[in-house]
Structure 1
């Protein structure tokens, strides 16, 4: 055995050397998205969070479209056609900047665009997907209701046939991008079962008031959707699916991105805590030189490393066509929960500075409180995995 091989340097933010498992194309995607975030988003996102508004959200969407990250894992119609792993790495870098920015991209690509791409007609795809991929049109996804979250089968939104048209009455809540959207994919109960509708937001009877007073995902547009007697032609219906299979397939796509994205928030918090610990001097030495601080840093990095390895494994399975919905639930359950714990621990290392927006930690921590419960709560994903393990449904 040769002893002359030069070993690589230890990377504090990649202690296991996971980057070596990535292809050249995957590293290029990661680095390109990281650069855009560093130049276009990171310098401003704390101010956006504090003010509760993104400056020029349409301009940002256009830049993200130009980069190719909107619907980047979809084929055709102006989409980049990249791999699931490349999409995951993009989500990690976006959420390392802010969960709200990753949400904008996820809702656009994995919910609204995916619904049209997977279940839409040829005309619907041609009309919307190229514009959405370019960032020229923004989409939203209306499933959650004011009184219906984890049980979408009991949604109260209704659509009925009236001659050759459909008339849609719906209330949807906590809808990312809603106020700025050009098109909404809205799910409603019909006599045939749950159906999806592609609704231009300038249709009479549609409105999307923005939800204010949030303490989480503040650098993100969150809205209520109100549809009062919205009349739509038959061509507005997603023709290829009836039932909950439609919206749940879209949620599975978005949850996959969260598995990766949560690790971005975790990495950013570890990086901030490590930098601060090396600079903050107490009792004559940096606090990083104390055993208890090192234990926190190491424990955070252990969970981060395991989370990224899990995300990468699931990405490889998705690219191979073998990823199960229950495995996405496993990843979402673990990675968001661990990322939130990492952020909370990082906050303690920063002490009082941990609550300041001069550092990213409290922003990530607050954001992850939303990510923890949207697109499936801890309880729901626990029961999904539990059912897969035991064969017994425990939802009721």
Structure 2
């Protein structure tokens, strides 16, 4: 079925992204995995090529492009070479922190951070999750107390993407301790600020090149002007922007699953068993047919949701549907494709092996599948 989702302008941009991926990413993937860290070179190269900074205003060095299809192309091209960790790193800058600053920040904040984020010189992270607070942001205990012209931050965060490499962190902290109030605010912290410390680089099941870390705040003092958005409105600020983050995860899920299926079609075409290619076995053809159909149907939903996102009409419920369904599908497809690779699927020299371990987090971060279903279920119940 022919899609008109992408235009010639998108195709031209894809050629730029693909060239960047071939030149700067593909040959470095194994090294990044071994070193458990992505160096700054791909960030700087991406900045020069316009692969990052896509949604940021032109006056701050970005492309000023609100059409999310351009971000989807970046994610598809990274997925094509299995660059899951780099996609996650870019996603924090592009779809979360950078957009928060662009939409909520003061002119001074935008001028201070967005040019560097557009050029790849500034790497960011967002510190929401805590040891006792994951998907339920109301459980956040990190505090920020106003002291004259400063905020004093105390607390700890965990599972923070770009935690080791980031230059700036947006911190969700409790600024109102009144019982029964959400009282969360967002504060910008430069990582060189006294009292800020990085903890362990966490040892994860997958996404080994992605530096995920613990962060600690011990009487960290930042200027009052580092408040991002409105005091006490941190939770609404986060909730209003979660649909974009969830679409970001959903797009990588579909891109990765499609890439894995393509590798598997090639493998089953060339691998022989019982005197014939594996693809000639009915079980293989049925499996491939089922996965291709599910992916095509899912892509159609994501394309429609993306056009709604572009129009400012994507609901939190539809974003939750896109996130849970596409990531669970990615998990199923990757597992099934690994099975079709047989013993070679379990070998890390085949990309399906790394795709398998990297995909497992997709149904957890950005809101677990169970939380996504709860959001959808509550909406259904409220409509009765």
Band the TM-score falls in, shorter-chain normalisation: over 0.9
Partner of 1:198: 188
Residue pairs, 1:186-335, within 5 angstroms: 186-191=171-176, 193-240=183-230, 242-335=233-326
Is residue 109 from structure 1 mapped to residue 94 from structure 2 by the alignment?
yes
State the Cα distance separating 1:235 from its structure 2 match.
1.1
**Structure 2 gap ranges (5+):** 178-182
Kindly tell me: are residues 240 and 67 of structure 1, through their superposed partners in 2, closer, same or farther at Cα, counting changes over 3 Å? Answer: farther
Unmatched segments (≥5 aa) in structure 1: 1-15
Over the aligned positions, Cα root-mean-square deviation in angstroms equals 1.8
2:153, 2:227 → 1: CA distance? 11
TM-score where L is the length of structure 2: 0.93
Aligned to 2:180: none
Q: Does residue 52 of structure 2 align to residue 70 of structure 1?
A: yes
**Where does residue 27 of structure 2 map in the other structure?**
43
Residue 47 of structure 1, CA deviation:
4.3
Q: TM-score, normalised by structure 1?
A: 0.90
**Cα deviations by residue, 1:65-108 (Å, 9 ceiling, x for unpaired):** 22223241233321112211221222222233322111111101
Q: For 2:213, what is the secondary structure of its paired residue?
A: strand
- 1-structure distance, mates of 2:35, 2:255: 23
State the match for 2:355 in structure 1.
364
* CA separation of 1:123 and 1:48: change in aligned 2, threshold 3 A: same
C-alpha distance in structure 2 between counterparts of 1:350 and 1:47, whole Å: 25
| Large movers: runs of 4+ above 4 Å | none
Shift in Å, 1:364: 1.4
State the shift of 1:27 in Å.
Answer: 1.9
Question: Residues of 2 paired with 1:230 and 1:297: CA distance?
Answer: 54
Aligned to 1:391: 382
Verify the 8 A CA contact 1:61 1:136 in the aligned structure 2: yes
Q: CA deviation at 1:392?
A: 7.5
Inter-CA distance 131–99: structure 2 relative to 1 (3 Å threshold): same
Deviations 1:166-198 (A, max 9, x none): 100121111111111111111100128211111
Per the TM alignment, residue 41 of structure 1 is displaced from its structure 2 partner at its CA by: 1.7
Number of residue-to-residue matches in the alignment = 375
Greater CA drift, 105-114 or 373-382: 105-114
Q: Confirm or deny: 8 A CA contact 1:106 1:257 kept in the other structure.
A: yes
Judge conservation of contact 2:202–2:214 (CA < 8 Å) in 1. Answer: no
The 3-state SS of whatever aligns with 1:41 is: helix
List aligned pairs for 1:324-363, cutoff 5 A: 324-363=315-354
CA positional deviation for 1:60: 1.1
User: Which digits, 9 at most, give the CA deviation of each residue in 1:323-379, with x for residues without a partner?
Assistant: 111111110011111011010110011001101222211211211111110010000
Are residues 390 and 255 of structure 1, via their aligned partners in 2, closer, same or farther at CA, if it must alter by over 3 Å?
Answer: same
Partners of 1:200 and 1:188 in 2: CA distance: 15
Distance 1:249 1:219 in 2: 30
